[in-house]
Amino acid sequence: MLQERISLIMVYRTILLLLFSCSILLSACGTRGTPVIRPEILESKLSVLMITSDKLSDPVKQKIGSKLLEWRSGNQIAFEWMKDKAAIDESMITSIKSKPYDYIYVIGTDLFLTAIQAADQDKDSKWTLLQDQMTLQQPPVKSDNLSILQIDPKQAADVRTNWVNQMLAQKESVEWVTFAENPIPAEWAPSEEADHIVLLNNNGDWFNQLNYQTRLHASKWIIFNAPTDASFGNRAKTIGVSVVDLTAPLEAELNWDAILAGRLNMMTGRTWVKGIQAYNGQEMKQLLIK
């Protein structure tokens, strides 16, 4: 009998301990709920989609890849990377819309047209397009979820002006090629040097005229001051002097470390803004006349 009583006491104690433990757990659930990630941690989690052009150089792609890994390890930013794309097609847009990306980056000017269309279809993500080379036309920005980071057109104009001024300061003889509606600024070609200008308007003999003037003046430069077909410049090069098209996009040397650091600061600081912005002095290394 004694042994049976001891066994019953041990069973009762076990039951009481279990009931006590359950009461503690239920109490905890009543005050704190089921275990969850703290809101501030959950809100800090960001997801990024990177889309890059197939025209990017290998060093730039390597830089982007290393930065994405740094974002993940240092800032807990989840990412996916669609690389070497010639365009953003419908299958990509369908895939993008099926996932909750916070930020989508598109690097490569040649992707801008299809990226702008894609951003208009995916309103849930913040899109940022990063220009890697200049274009002659300003990209349209219609969507409130679209931001474009581009080379500053004013800076490009200043580079062109400074280049011409430096060249003229060296007393180099120049032949100018343009249309009547794109006159050469007087400070570059004063009226007394009108015979250094070749107008393309209805001038089927422009090349012979240019060739003659170049040799007559012993000019070292031929400068196009109006947009033309590439064949005009290629033909002018056969004269045997340096040919420059001032209307052509400049060659940009960008600092991708600074550019991507700026995007990271924007994400962590929640400072994304829509519209068109220009690269700053740290992000743009230099612009060069081609």
Give the chain's radius of gyration (CA, Å).
32
Superfamily of domain 41-151+252-288: Response regulator (3.40.50.2300)
pLDDT confidence of 192, banded at 50, 70, 90?
Answer: confident
pLDDT confidence of 44, banded at 50, 70, 90?
Answer: low
Range with the lowest mean pLDDT among 4-18, 55-69, 120-134, 243-257? 4-18
**3-state secondary structure (DSSP) of residue 75:** helix
The H or E element spanning position 207 is helix 206-216
Dmax over CA atoms of the chain, in Å, equals 131
CATH topology match: 41-151+252-288 vs 155-245: yes
* Residue 159, pLDDT score: 94
Look up tokens 């400070």; give the residue: 187
Does 7 have pLDDT greater than 90? no
Note the pTM of the prediction, 2 decimals: 0.79
Mean pLDDT of the chain: 86
* Residue 28, pLDDT score: 42
Tell me the domain boundaries of the chain: 41-151+252-288, 155-245
- Mention the CATH class of domain 155-245: alpha beta
Residue 42 vs residue 65, higher pLDDT: 65
β-bridge mates for residue 105, sequence order = 50, 128
The pLDDT tens digits of the residues spanning 133-151 come to: 988 777 778 889 999 999 9
pLDDT confidence of 163, banded at 50, 70, 90?
Answer: very high
Say if residues 288 and 253 touch (Cβ distance below 8 Å): yes
Cα 208 to Cα 260: distance, rounded to the nearest angstrom: 50
Cα 222 to Cα 256: distance, rounded to the nearest angstrom: 34
Say if residues 184 and 157 touch (Cβ distance below 8 Å): no
Does 22 have pLDDT greater than 50? no
